[in-house]
Amino acid sequence: MCKEIRKLWHIGLDQYISDLWNVVDFITNMFYIVWLSSRLCSLYITWSAEAAGKNPWRPREHWNSFEPMLISEGAFAAGMIFSFLKLVHIFSVNPHLGPLQISLGRMIIDIVKFFFIYTLVVFAFGCGLNQLLWYYAELEKNKCYHLSNEAPDFESHDKACTIWRRYANLFETTQTLFWASFGLIDLMSFELTGIKTFTRFWALLMFGSYSVINIIVLLNMLIAMMSTSFQIISERADVEWKFARSRLWINYFENGDILPPPFNILPNTDMFRRLFATKHKRVTISNKIDAKNRHDAVVRLLIKRFVTAEQRKRHEFGITEDDVIEIRQDISSLRYDIVDILGKNGMSTPNMSFDETQVVGRKGKMIERRILKDFQIGVATEVTKTKRKSTFKKRKKDWNALVRQNAAFDPIGSSKMLKSQST
């Protein structure tokens, strides 16, 4: 927990929640906090009962539904699930399990989008069925709890004691429809005490409509979406896996705790060094901004080098669009030459103006055009810097004007860069 708090403090909330594994760690820690606090609450209740002279020891079947001990056990069970699922993050290093883990992670987005539509459909049909069958569920409940001690009579009315809860309230009805998606609810659940023919028919019609919409349509749509996402990711699974592996490695190179938990809560030499460091050695905000600018400059240079190398390979291999444009320019020049020769020999030719510098200029800018048609890193970086500077200004901003203003800033493959490369 201390490690996550320090990480959140150093990198900020936006960058912290951008990584889903940080969200998983946060949820895990919250479950463990609930577990510990509920245990302490249960311990306090027990000590208070003993101090008052009461017997706090009772069988579990006599406990309250929301007993702190029961809540702590549920929170601990959920925390254990998330703790072991975190091991999947380490699979990114493995060349066999890494691509599969990346594919499953990307398909979670499809599952989340499906979940919203699925929840809406379940809630809608749950409201309808609960409004239609709640009275008959109450009759089944009275039939089950007819004994004097208000205990359920499973021996004589086993069916009534099982069915009444399925439509008792909106929450139970929604659960019933959820488990119906897996085929765990049969049509005998609609054979309730006192139900009329029309009501039973209308309830079955609602349940059938729910099955068609949710089970046949939505589930098959989810399978199709997941298949499409998996196919797209599997085509470039190797690149995606290497990128995810690099991100995992970088996490261990970042500034963090020197000692692993739980020893990271103890004072260490690094804490004393930062505490008693002199003023001129401390990292200031300006130093962080300068480091960020240097990092952005290095990344831009790396992108430029990659794009330039790819364009050079494209130029050296095969026939490209630029080769076709060059041939068209040569044919145009040849046409002007033929017209000029025919005119000098006294033949009737159309008046055509020939601008040799225009053709030569196009040829001279061939390399620049090849590179410029792919990327312009300077545009995005300059617009981002301008946006940061104008954040605190109250006047209205024209972002299109900002893009046009910075469109010519240091593009990849510009004449300026080509001249510097040639020198």
Residues 190-202: pLDDT tens digits? 888 888 889 999 9
pLDDT value of position 422: 43
Rg over CA atoms, the chain: 35
Mean pLDDT lowest for which of 116-120, 281-285, 363-367?
363-367
Q: Are residues 194 and 118 in the same domain?
A: yes
**Is 349 a domain residue?**
yes
- Predicted local distance difference test score (pLDDT) of residue 98: 78
Alpha-carbon distance 349 to 201, whole Å? 89
Dump pLDDT digits (tens) for 329-346: 788 788 778 877 877 777
Is residue 37 in a domain?
no
Average pLDDT score over residue span 55-70: 84
Which pLDDT belongs to residue 329? 78
Q: Note whether 185 and 162 are within 8 A (CB).
A: no
String of b and e for 309-336 (b: at least 16 CB within 10 Å)? eebeeeeeeeeeebeeeeeebeeeeeee
State residue 198's pLDDT score: 92
Residue 220 has a pLDDT of: 87
Among 83-97, 219-233, 326-340, 341-355, the range scoring the smallest mean pLDDT is 341-355
Q: How far is CA 93 from the centre of its chain?
A: 20
Residue 260 gets which letter from DSSP? P
User: In terms of residue numbers, what domain contains 184?
Assistant: 94-235
Q: Is residue 256 part of a domain?
A: no
pLDDT of 76: 93
Phi then psi dihedrals of residue 373, to 5 deg: -75, -10
Question: Where does a domain end: 235, 253, 269?
Answer: 235
Domain final position from 218, 235, 252: 235
Residue of 177, 371, 350, 181 whose CA lies nearest to 189: 177
Token pair of 296 as six digits: 């952005």
Q: Are residues 219 and 292 in the same domain?
A: no
User: Looking at the structure, do residues 225 and 291 belong to the same domain, yes or no?
Assistant: no
Please tell me the predicted confidence (pLDDT) of residue 419: 46
Highest mean predicted confidence (pLDDT) among 35-39, 150-154, 341-345: 35-39
Measured between alpha carbons, how far is residue 115 from residues 124, 175, 214 in Å? 14, 15, 11
Residue 142 has pLDDT above 80, yes or no: yes
Mean pLDDT of 353-380: 51
Over residues 155-198, the pLDDT tens digits come to: 788 888 888 888 888 999 999 999 988 888 888 888 888 888 89
Average pLDDT over residues 37-53: 89
At 417 the pLDDT is: 47
List the structure tokens of 340: 């000029």
Shared-domain flag, residues 215 and 336? no
Domain check: are 184 and 300 in the same one?
no
> Does pLDDT of 254 surpass 80?
no
In a domain, 313, yes or no: yes
What pLDDT does residue 423 have? 46
186 with 119, same domain? yes
Same domain, residue pair 346 and 218: no
User: Amino acid letter at 309?
Assistant: A
Q: Could you read off the pLDDT of 95-121 as tens digits, one per residue?
A: 778 778 777 777 887 888 888 888 999
Q: Mean pLDDT, to the nearest integer, of 237-256?
A: 74
Tell me, what's the pLDDT at 240? 76
pLDDT-derived band at 239 (thresholds 50, 70, 90) equals: confident
Q: Of 219-233, 383-397, 407-421, where does mean pLDDT reach its minimum? A: 407-421
Same-domain status, 203 and 312: no
pTM over 0.75: no
C-alpha separations of 212 from 123, 191, 217, 283, 361 in Å: 16, 21, 6, 62, 66
Residues 99 and 230 both lie in one domain: yes
What mean pLDDT is predicted for residues 239-264?
Answer: 70
In whole angstroms, what is the distance from residue 197 CA to residue 330 CA?
86
Give the model confidence (pLDDT) of 116-141 as tens digits.
888 999 999 999 999 999 999 898 88
Average pLDDT, rounded, for the chain: 76
Type of residue found at 307: V
Indicate whether 120 belongs to any domain.
Answer: yes
Q: Is residue 47 part of a domain?
A: no
Same domain, 231 and 297: no
pLDDT at residue 259 tops 50: yes
- For residue 408, give the amino acid letter: A
Please state, in angstroms and rounded to a whole number, the distance separating the CA atoms of residues 201 and 208. Answer: 10
| Alpha carbon distance 171, 123 (integer Å) | 9
31, pLDDT greater than 90: yes
Q: Give the tokens for residue 220.
A: 């098959």
Which of 49, 7, 43 minimizes the C-alpha distance to 25? Answer: 7
Establish whether the linkage from the previous residue to 68 is cis, with ω within 30° of 0. no
Would 15 be classed as within a structural domain?
no
Alpha-carbon distance values, 157 to 73, 138, 200, 230 (Å): 32, 14, 21, 50
CA distance 323 to 316: 11
User: What count of Cα atoms within 13 Å lies in the side-chain half-sphere of residue 300?
Assistant: 19
Q: Is the pLDDT of residue 19 over 70?
A: yes
Rounded CA-CA distance 29/78 in Å is 11
Same domain for 215 and 307, yes or no, is: no
Q: How many domains does the chain have?
A: 2
DSSP secondary-structure letter at 188?
Answer: G
Task: Report, as an integer, the average pLDDT of 291-300.
Answer: 87
The pLDDT value given to residue 50: 85
Residue that is last in its domain, among 235, 259, 274: 235
Task: Note whether residue 329 is domain-resident.
Answer: yes
The pLDDT of residue 409: 47
Contacts of 136 (CB under 8 A, 6+ apart): 167, 192, 193, 194, 195, 199
| Pair of tokens at residue 387 | 């946006």
310 shares its domain with 202: no
Checking 322-328 for CB contacts under 8 A at 24+ apart, the result is 322/366, 322/369, 322/370, 325/362, 325/366, 326/363, 326/366
